[in-house]
């Protein structure tokens, strides 16, 4: 059973087509080359992996790997 950080990084890697060896402070857009539609898809993938619904105004605040991990830890399992 992998922990949340590993699961988040795995999804980021899959969605953005980067290696799983990602820094937790990496920004999706600035460091990982995501465009705005990629970030929307990424949030969709996180919702499915962690079986939660991320409201649009919360989703907009998730711009780095760490922020995604924090959100999931706080709101899902």
Partner 1 sequence: MTKQVALVTGASRGIGRAIAERLVEDGFFVVGTATSDNGADSISAYLGENGKGLKLDVANPESIAEVVKTVSDEYGAPTVLVNNAGITRDNLLMRMKDDEWDEIINTNLTSVFRMSKAVLRGMMKAKTGRIINISSVVGATGNAGQANYAAAKAGMIGFAKSMAKEVGSRNITINTVAPGFIDTDMTKELGDDIKNSLLASIPLARLGEAREIAHAVSFLASEGAAYITGETIHVNGGMFMP
List, by residue number, the catalytic residues: 35
1 binds partner 1 (CB under 8 A): no
| C-beta closer to partner 1: residue 26 or 40 | 40
Which candidate, 38, 12, 34, 15, places its Cα nearest to that of 23?
12
> Would you state the torsion angle of the CA atoms of residues 60, 39, 28, 8, taken in this order, to the nearest 10 degrees?
90
Tell the smallest beta-carbon distance from residue 73 to partner 1 (Å): 24
Q: Is 51 left (phi over 0), alpha (psi -120 to 50) or beta?
A: left
Residues numbered 28 to 57 that lie near partner 1 (CB under 8 A) are: 37, 40-41, 44
Q: What are the residues binding partner 1 (CB under 8 A)?
A: 37, 40-41, 44
């Amino acid at each position: 059973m992998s922990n949340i950080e590993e699961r988040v990084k795995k999804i980021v890697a899959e969605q953005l087509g980067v290696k799983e060896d990602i820094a937790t402070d990496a920004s999706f857009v600035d460091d990982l080359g995501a465009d705005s539609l990629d970030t929307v898809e990424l949030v969709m993938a996180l919702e499915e992996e962690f079986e939660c619904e991320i409201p649009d105004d919360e989703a907009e605040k998730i711009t780095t790997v760490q922020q995604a991990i924090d959100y999931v830890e706080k709101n899902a399992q």
